[in-house]
């Protein structure tokens, strides 16, 4: 299940976005964050694909942030386009993917980012 993040939940689940340079990363397992906007057709197309991915990989935390409501949460990641996916490991390693992708490509990116088979 994909969980929507707001400012408060982001600070509890990911890190303190107000001080990203000094804030410890709080994630305990592999995590994906999608940055999106409601009016974007590419973002809309990704909703069922991302939901399906989250069901197929229950050991990965999947989050979504609506950028018009929470633009400040995109700054630490340098998000300028949408949809943008951030793949994060608990050790701090991150990868970024921008744009709409087919379902299989999203799964392949996830497997690659988290060394899954």
Instruction: Report the chain's terminal Cα–Cα distance, integer Å.
Output: 21
Distance CA(102)–CA(104), nearest Å, equals 6
Beta-strand relationship, 84-88 and 94-98? antiparallel
> What is the DSSP secondary structure assignment for residue 78, as one 8-state letter?
T
How far are the Cα atoms of 21, 22, 112 from residue 3, in angstroms, in the given order?
25, 25, 22
Catalytic-role residue among 33, 43, 53, 74: 43
User: Is the Cα dihedral 55, 33, 92, 110 positive or negative?
Assistant: positive
Whether residue 40 lies in the annotated active site: yes
Catalytic-role residue among 40, 45, 60, 107: 40
Whether residue 62 lies in the annotated active site: no
Q: Residues with catalytic annotation?
A: 40, 43
């Amino acid at each position: 299940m994909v969980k929507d993040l707001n400012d408060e939940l982001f600070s509890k689940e990911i890190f303190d976005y107000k001080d990203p340079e000094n804030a410890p990363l709080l994630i305990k397992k592999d995590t994906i964050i999608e940055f999106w906007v409601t009016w974007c057709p590419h973002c809309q197309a990704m909703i069922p694909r991302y939901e399906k991915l989250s069901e197929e990989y229950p050991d990965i935390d999947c989050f979504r942030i609506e950028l018009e409501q929470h633009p400040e949460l995109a700054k630490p990641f340098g998000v300028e386009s949408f949809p943008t996916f951030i793949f994060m490991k608990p050790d701090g390693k991150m990868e970024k993917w921008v744009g709409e992708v087919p379902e299989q490509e999203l799964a392949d990116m996830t497997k690659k980012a988290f060394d899954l088979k």
